[in-house]
Amino acid sequence: MDTRSLLYFVAVAEERNIGRAAARLHITQPALTRQIHSLEGEVGVPLFTRTTSGMEITPAGSALLDHARNIKAELAQAKLSARQAGQLAHQPLHIGVYGSAIFSIVPQLLKRFAQAHPRVDFNLHNARKDQQVDLLRQGTILVAFDRFPLREDDLAYETVYRETLQVALHKDHPLAARSVIRREDLDGEPRIGANFDSGMAAGLAQASGSHAQVRHRADDMLTTLALVSNGFGITFAPPSIHALQIPDVVFRPYADGPVISFDVQCIYRRSENSPLLQAMLATVRAFCAEQDGPAASGAGPAVAA
């Protein structure tokens, strides 16, 4: 019993007519009839009852049909997997990254992707949000990962990971002795805010209050934490940044203020149908599904950028 005869059998069972099945398979009716007779001889029982109106499947044929359809589906999946593997081979995947996600969440996704597609090479582009939008539209990058992304109608967004902010401050700061920092504790404390990132600036302003004193500004979280480590002020940061172990910086839970989510978003062109993109999105969605939704560290509602 070979796969071709099973595929022929499925076509006859679905069409219930030798003529229509032969036309669907692009073979002659006598050739198809011989294949069905041969298969019945191999199985040892009739698979069809011949009638004037066509071919009626027998109980034995129905039992075989379930298995034959499963084999057909497996063959189709095998062809698709082979085709996708061939399309993904020896291709660079250009990814836009920025900020703290590159130190925690993005490497986890890239590791998963590389395990499934070991022949794809990564080209990472460190670019600000406004630059990422341009690079996506130009096709220079296929996908980007960032927090508080700029919202554009031609781009699609999927939440990858959700974290609520914590207070980052120097280890010798008086507030570092507290297990939880409340909003009123920060009154009069110099803050370090976002330089150009309007989305993150809005989120930080909402967290700290409209009257917060922003003394210094930086372009990214790593630079911001470097200022914190030298006593220039406090800021807010996602828990995943702890992995960097910035010298002299400690993190404390933030109470009483609004819950602000530092969501890591996957961003791509809505019109893009690249197999590389589909493979990356499959990795992202599998990562989220394992967590029963976007992976969360102190999940809370997102702030619109």
3-state helix, strand, coil split of the chain in percent (to 5) is 45, 25, 30
The string of pLDDT tens digits covering residues 166-221 is 889 999 999 999 999 888 888 888 888 776 656 666 666 666 665 567 788 887 78
Please give the residue that has the higher pLDDT: either 293 or 261.
Answer: 261
The CA distances from residue 295 to 55, 63, 117, 268, in Å, are: 53, 43, 23, 20
Q: Provide the 3-class DSSP secondary structure of residue 146.
A: strand
**Per-residue model confidence (pLDDT) at position 219:** 75
How much is the mean pLDDT over the chain? Answer: 82
Structure tokens that stand for 88 in this block:
């993904």
**Per-residue model confidence (pLDDT) at position 300:** 34
Cβ-based burial of 33 (10 A; exposed 0-12, middle 13-18, buried ≥19): middle
Per DSSP bridges, beta strands 155-163 and 295-297 are: parallel
Please state, in angstroms and rounded to a whole number, the distance separating the CA atoms of residues 44 and 276. 47
pLDDT band at 297 (very low <50, low <70, confident <90, very high): very low
Q: Give the end-to-end CA distance of the chain in Å, rounded to a whole number.
A: 61
**Per-residue model confidence (pLDDT) at position 283:** 92
Q: Provide the 3-class DSSP secondary structure of residue 259.
A: coil
**Per-residue model confidence (pLDDT) at position 301:** 32
Please state, in angstroms and rounded to a whole number, the distance separating the CA atoms of residues 297 and 300. 9
Please state, in angstroms and rounded to a whole number, the distance separating the CA atoms of residues 97 and 114. 17
Please state, in angstroms and rounded to a whole number, the distance separating the CA atoms of residues 109 and 101. 11
Phi, psi of 297 (to 5 degrees): -125, 95
The string of pLDDT tens digits covering residues 44-94 is 999 999 888 889 999 998 999 888 888 888 887 777 666 665 555 567 899
pTM of the model: 0.58
**Per-residue model confidence (pLDDT) at position 57:** 92
CA proximity to 221, closest of 202, 241, 206, 247: 241
**Per-residue model confidence (pLDDT) at position 220:** 77
**Per-residue model confidence (pLDDT) at position 165:** 79
Please state, in angstroms and rounded to a whole number, the distance separating the CA atoms of residues 160 and 141. 18
- Domains parsed from the chain with CATH numbers: 3-88 (1.10.10.10), 92-162+262-297 (3.40.190.10), 165-255 (3.40.190.10)
Instruction: Reply yes or no on whether the pLDDT at 294 is more than 60.
Output: no
The string of pLDDT tens digits covering residues 10-56 is 999 999 999 999 999 899 999 989 999 999 899 899 999 988 888 99
**Per-residue model confidence (pLDDT) at position 303:** 33
**Per-residue model confidence (pLDDT) at position 241:** 80
Q: What percent of the chain is modeled with pLDDT above 90?
A: 32
List, as own/partner pairs, every contact residues 173-180 make where C-beta atoms lie below 8 angstroms and the sequence separation is at least 24, other chains included. 173/231, 173/234, 175/234, 175/252, 176/250, 176/252, 178/252, 179/252, 179/253, 180/252, 180/253, 180/254, 180/255
